[in-house]
């Protein structure tokens, strides 16, 4: 008899816990930080071909399209 009371008492609490509530606001995006040991010769990847310049270009210059390696088709990235 006492177990039935516990089950009946737990039912409303479970339903209240499953009720929809307002979500907290999303946190602002965090910055991307990259550490390299050498200074880039340029921020233009066409002007210099060292590794530091290539890394900076890859992290800062987003592509409009990308290649899907499974289907070998060009898909929109930023152009979507």
How far is 75 from 32, CA to CA, in rounded Å? 25
**Is residue 43's pLDDT more than 80?**
yes
**Which DSSP state fits 19?**
S
Q: Is the pLDDT of residue 71 over 60?
A: yes
Rg (CA), the chain: 27
Are 77 and 63 contacting, i.e. CB atoms less than 8 angstroms apart? yes
Is the pLDDT confidence value at 73 over 90?
yes
Q: List residues bridging with 75 in a β-sheet.
A: 66
Q: What is the pTM of this model?
A: 0.42
Tell me what the pLDDT averaged over the chain comes to: 76
């Amino acid at each position: 008899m006492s177990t039935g009371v516990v089950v009946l008492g737990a039912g409303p609490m479970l339903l209240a816990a499953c009720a929809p509530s307002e979500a907290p606001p999303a946190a602002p995006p965090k910055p991307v930080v990259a550490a390299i040991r050498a200074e880039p010769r340029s921020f233009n990847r066409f002007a210099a071909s060292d590794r530091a310049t290539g890394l900076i270009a890859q992290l800062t210059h987003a592509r409009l399209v990308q290649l899907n390696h499974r289907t070998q088709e060009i898909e929109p990235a930023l152009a979507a």
